[in-house]
């Protein structure tokens, strides 16, 4: 049971005991007032939840199954690498994620730096994964929203401050293929584990989450064992999928 369930359980428990004591005095109006207050209290609890968008990149891999098990009370968007979806196990896990209400996005076919790719290669990276995603969405009877995330956040010219022709061409290619690029505004830093970050410091950073944040994580042991369980059980967040 998470904190939210516990709280709503406590609130409805209070409701039941108040109802019992007030009925014994036969005061119907007081009972209604009390129920109204409890309803308001319940709504306040709901309102306090921050809507956040958890994104999990680089799958499907060996941690997807446990991530899905831990995501029963929340939804995530998985930005997937096409070549990892080609085997039966990867594909069926992705299908399972989609059927559980999560969103799937395109994270290229082989996870390259797009600033180093010709336009033809970039097109093929997007299209090969698109074919796989179209198949899985079609089989599940859903529509692929065509969400894209650039590997390494490299949208054609990393760190470019001025206008750059390659970046412009890559972005119009993406648009022509029907895709929209999604970045993030909070780096979960799961990928820094073992590179100077501890589990405590990674979870500590998550305390800074604001409503509306798009959180970057990756399919790895830190996300599976710590980040996802924290986000779904803290009782602070409403985890939703990215939509176009």
Do 79 and 57 form a contact (C-beta atoms < 8 A)?
yes
Closer to Zn ion by CB, 15 or 77: give it.
77
Type and span of the H or E element at 148: strand 147-148
> C-beta of 181: minimal distance to Zn ion in Å?
13
Question: Which among 22-30, 48-56, 58-66, 133-141 is the span making contact with Zn ion, rule CB under 5 A?
Answer: 58-66
Closer to Zn ion by CB, 56 or 232: give it.
56
Spatial neighbors of 4 by CB under 8 A, at least 6 apart, are 45, 49, 73, 235
Torsion sign across C-alpha atoms 164, 167, 173, 174: negative
> C-beta of 107: minimal distance to Zn ion in Å?
6
DSSP letter at 231? H
Helix, strand, coil percentages, rounded to 5, for the chain: 50, 15, 35
3-class DSSP assignment, residue 215? strand
Closer to Zn ion by CB, 20 or 113: give it.
113
> C-beta of 72: minimal distance to Zn ion in Å?
25
Closer to Zn ion by CB, 90 or 151: give it.
151
Closer to Zn ion by CB, 84 or 232: give it.
84
**Contact between 58 and Zn ion per CB under 5 A:** yes
> C-beta of 58: minimal distance to Zn ion in Å?
4
Closer to Zn ion by CB, 58 or 213: give it.
58
Here's the x/- map for Zn ion, 122-161, by CB under 5 A: it reads as -----------------------------x----------
Question: Which among 53-61, 85-93, 175-183, 199-207 is the span making contact with Zn ion, rule CB under 5 A?
Answer: 53-61
> C-beta of 224: minimal distance to Zn ion in Å?
16
> C-beta of 4: minimal distance to Zn ion in Å?
31
> C-beta of 165: minimal distance to Zn ion in Å?
25
241: β partners: none
Spatial neighbors of 50 by CB under 8 A, at least 6 apart, are 209, 210, 211, 212, 213, 236, 237, 238
Q: What whole-number distance in Å separates Cα of residue 25 and Cα of residue 231?
A: 44
**Contact between 190 and Zn ion per CB under 5 A:** no
**Contact between 57 and Zn ion per CB under 5 A:** yes
Closer to Zn ion by CB, 4 or 97: give it.
97
Residues of 34-67 as b/e, b for ≥16 C-beta within 10 angstroms?
beeebeeeeeeeeeeeeebbbbbbbbbbebbeeb
Give the interface with Zn ion as residue ranges (CB under 5 A).
Answer: 57-58, 151
């Amino acid at each position: 049971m998470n904190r939210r369930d516990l709280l709503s359980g406590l609130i409805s428990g209070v409701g039941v005991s108040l109802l019992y004591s007030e009925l014994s005095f036969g005061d119907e109006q007081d009972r209604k007032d009390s129920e109204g207050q409890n309803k308001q209290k319940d709504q306040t609890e709901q309102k306090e939840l921050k809507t956040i968008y958890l994104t999990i990149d680089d799958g499907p891999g060996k941690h997807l199954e446990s991530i899905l098990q831990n995501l029963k009370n929340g939804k995530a968007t998985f930005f997937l690498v096409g070549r990892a979806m080609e085997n039966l196990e990867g594909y069926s896990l992705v299908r399972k994620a989609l059927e559980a209400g999560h969103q799937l996005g395109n994270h290229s076919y082989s996870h390259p730096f797009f600033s180093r790719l010709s336009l033809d290669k970039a097109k093929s990276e997007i299209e090969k994964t698109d074919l796989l995603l179209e198949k899985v969405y079609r089989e599940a009877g859903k529509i692929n929203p065509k969400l894209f995330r650039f590997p390494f956040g490299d949208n054609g010219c990393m760190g470019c401050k001025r206008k750059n022709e390659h970046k412009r061409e890559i972005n119009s290619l993406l648009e022509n293929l029907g895709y929209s690029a999604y970045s993030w505004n909070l780096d979960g830093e799961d990928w820094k584990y073992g590179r100077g970050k501890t589990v405590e410091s990674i979870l500590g950073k998550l305390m800074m989450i604001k409503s509306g944040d798009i959180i970057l994580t990756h399919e790895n042991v830190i996300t599976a064992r710590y980040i996802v369980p924290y986000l779904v059980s803290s009782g602070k967040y409403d985890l939703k999928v990215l939509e176009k």
